[in-house]
């Protein structure tokens, strides 16, 4: 079973809705051999509820009832995530190029003049480029549509 941290990382590095839908589908999977973390958490709540009920005390029965409520909520959450993953998979969307995560170990792309390009230059960078006579970055509204090369 994948850890929640690795599933979160997969979502953060995804570029298409189908990739995120796949992660959500895995997280909400209830059938062996690919039971997701929500199913495992539900199993934990059920097991703890059985233990509490077996104590045969007033407090144990109350705790078992609360754990049963949590288990029902987890089942509802699991079915909601499964439904959302189906809807997200049906959208077939891709992140715009300016929103695509870039690995930190790769350098930023270089402009034609060999200067590191910035995704969103701050006021200091715009002033410095204006003062040095170098071309300024175009705004998204005036820029030509980007082409994606893989």
Mean pLDDT (the chain) is 77
pLDDT at 101 (0 to 100): 66
pLDDT at 102 over 90: no
98 CB-near residues (< 8 Å, 6+ apart): 119, 140, 146
- The radius of gyration of the chain's CA atoms, rounded to the nearest angstrom, is 25
- pLDDT tens-digit map of 126-149: 555 555 444 444 455 555 555 666
- pLDDT tens-digit map of 24-83: 998 988 887 788 899 889 999 999 999 999 999 999 999 999 999 999 999 999 999 999
CA separation for the pair 58, 50 (Å, rounded): 14
Q: Where are the domains of the chain?
A: 4-94
Q: CB-side exposure of 19: number of CA atoms within 13 Å?
A: 13
Would you tell me how many other CB atoms lie within 10 Å of the CB of residue 20? 21
User: Rounded to two decimals, what is the model's pTM?
Assistant: 0.58
- pLDDT tens-digit map of 7-26: 889 888 888 888 999 999 98
Q: Does an H or E element contain 20, and which?
A: helix 17-27
């Amino acid at each position: 079973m994948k850890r929640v941290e690795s599933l979160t990382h997969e979502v953060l590095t995804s570029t298409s809705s189908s990739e995120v839908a796949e992660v959500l589908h895995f997280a909400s999977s209830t059938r062996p051999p690919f039971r997701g973390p929500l199913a495992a958490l539900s199993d934990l709540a059920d097991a703890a509820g059985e233990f509490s009920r077996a104590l045969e005390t007033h407090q144990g029965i109350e705790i078992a009832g609360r754990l049963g409520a949590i288990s029902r909520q987890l089942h509802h959450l699991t079915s909601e995530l499964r439904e959302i993953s189906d809807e997200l998979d049906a959208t077939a969307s891709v992140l715009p190029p300016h929103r695509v995560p870039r690995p930190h170990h790769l350098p930023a792309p270089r402009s034609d003049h060999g200067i590191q390009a910035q995704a969103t230059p701050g006021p200091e960078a715009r002033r410095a480029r204006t003062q040095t006579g170098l071309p300024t970055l175009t705004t998204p509204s005036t820029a030509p549509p980007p082409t994606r090369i893989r």
